Structure 1
């Protein structure tokens, strides 16, 4: 997963896809997010549970532990290692969902530059990505070191031709279980290892190369090209 995504739906659209009856503490806002070219290190809308209350917060995409000051904050974590890696030990228990409309990958097709592809669900529903992070506390507010990473797995099927890694995407049922603080760490690990959505749930197509410039923001970035 190269590290570019879209969040243009409203947070209530994402919450509706989860089908969660919990009350919502929404610090993201009521309007559509309208972000078509979201890059790492920027604020991304996340959903997480604190007690019985579902929270929608803006959290920095990327995280590293306080002792890892000699490297950049990663934006993704490999599902094969994340549950037992010392690097992510502090945040493995703190699970979230990164709800997105689509993500982008760049493919080498033999030309002078790689070409961007958009990947989204066939059915148009939100893409519910498994994530972990140092998340805002409702009592203390956002913290200086808050951040998150998206969990990724090997691609399969035709998606391998686009990129060898992809986010672990959960169905609403599994996403609710992933968010539930009562779900054990062992069960959470098995979910992201084995319960991610298969590649045939998704479609992908070329988009304009303008998406490569993070300064470009418009909805034209998600339209088919060529």
Structure 2
């Protein structure tokens, strides 16, 4: 799964990396982004790419209770195209969720060890995400989920699942403003290749979503 990540880049770096023309209102770098919080996402509205904030934890438009979002921070890519909550979103509500590393907790003989994981060759990257709009009376929510897959060889010793990180050359393809069949989206993410990853141990300070700051990413070695 993917339950915590970072985005430390300055706004100008994000605009340049993703080819965005407009500034990002209220953007602040973050050391410990957690479910239920606002996350920076990019969509294509048919005319241009736009960046804004979505709440992490998908609330499908048909949900009766928005609390369902806390159970839907991730979507399994292997079956998303078959699930009512996700398959229609794969058609035309695909988004980029911007990050520069993520955390995972490895089981050890001494308990769980927090690790920070990033790409070796790229500072900024994007998770493959899905988004939806939920409305009830006067309340509106724009929410998202991160697609995950079975861990690759690098991640297997750490955790059995991992987020889908889009290759740089496939980011725009993922959010292109065309309608896909759910099976097409499934095939797209299945065939993706991944850049090499790197990881190092961090302290249990990051374990609490309330904690924020450089201590979250400080190496233990």
User: Do they fold alike, i.e. is TM over 0.5?
Assistant: yes
CA RMSD of aligned residues (A): 2.2
Normalization by structure 1: what TM-score? 0.85
Pair 1:165-2:161 in alignment: yes
Give the Cα separation in 1 of the matches to 2:40 and 2:21. 14
How many residues are treated as equivalent by the alignment?
212
* Paired residue secondary structure (1:146): strand
Q: Shift in Å at residue 43 of structure 1?
A: 0.3
Q: 1:151 aligns with which of 121, 125, 147?
A: 147
Pair 1:5-2:1 in alignment: no
Higher strand share: 2
Match of 1:64 in 2: 59
Match of 1:85 in 2: 83
Normalization by structure 2: what TM-score? 0.87
Give the conservation status (yes or no) of the 8 Å contact 1:121–1:203: yes
Pair 1:24-2:21 in alignment: yes
Give the conservation status (yes or no) of the 8 Å contact 1:134–1:146: yes
Instruction: Flag as ranges the 4+ runs of structure 1 deviating above 6 A.
Output: none
* Paired residue secondary structure (1:162): coil
Distance 1:161-1:177 versus aligned 2 partners, 3 A rule = same
Structure 2 unpaired stretches of 5+: none
Distance 1:203-1:110 versus aligned 2 partners, 3 A rule = same
Distance 1:132-1:11 versus aligned 2 partners, 3 A rule = farther
Pair 1:221-2:220 in alignment: no
Per-residue CA distance 1:127-178 (angstroms, 9 max, x = gap):
2110010169xxxxxx722100000010111210111111111112111111
